[in-house]
Amino acid sequence: MAASRLDESLDNLILPIPPSKSQAKKRTGEVCLLEGDVMAISHRYTVMCDQVRREDNGKWLLVGVYEDVVGLPQLPTALPGLTFFMRLESDRIGVWNARIRLEHLETGQRVFEGVAMINFQRPGNGIVPIPTPPFQLQSVGPYNFVMEIQGQELDPIIHSFSVVLGQRPQPRPTQPQG
């Protein structure tokens, strides 16, 4: 995948670049660093969706938001890609490389792999939309989207979801606010 800038006006952006390999671990919430290292980037949340757009007024538009289940009519199914909309926080200015991958947990199959570059132009919160390349899903079951940030490989960010066949996710009831 060639490097491309997602949005020229982003303060904190991601640039997809070619694939690489690494090992997955389940995120525990505990900070795991090498002795003497300090955590630069913290994960706040991830939303999985079909697409992310940025409006002229700076607001984000998330299209096709998934909860924790992706319902498909048949397998294999080719998807044009997903976007993992992440809110990260950095305690410093800097640029970090990150390894990303999607893996099927039951088979160990890596659906895709790649690397990205995260650029914080100022400390604080940043929105990092990570679009994936088109890919094909072969199996139902649990999947993990994994991002390992350079220097923080022992504390990967993991977004888990399941793929099911022939079932569309049912909307959860919402409580009226008042």
Report the distance separating Cα 13 and Cα 109, nearest Å: 28
The pTM of this model reads: 0.73
User: pLDDT tens across 128-167, in order?
Assistant: 999 999 999 999 999 999 999 999 989 999 999 999 998 6
Strand ranges of the sheet holding 94-104, from the earlier edge strand across to the other edge: 12-17, 110-120, 94-104, 141-149, 157-165, 69-72
The pLDDT of residue 25 is above 60: no
The pLDDT of residue 83 is above 70: yes
Give 27's pLDDT tier (boundaries 50, 70, 90): very low
At residue 91, the pLDDT reads 93
Give domain limits for the chain.
12-22+42-165
User: pLDDT tens across 37-74, in order?
Assistant: 566 899 999 999 999 999 999 999 999 999 999 999 99
Phi, psi at 137, each rounded to 5°: -95, 130
User: pLDDT tens across 102-128, in order?
Assistant: 999 999 999 999 998 899 999 999 999
Does the domain at residues 12-22+42-165 carry the CATH identifier 3.40.50.2300?
A: no
At residue 12, the pLDDT reads 42
At residue 26, the pLDDT reads 40
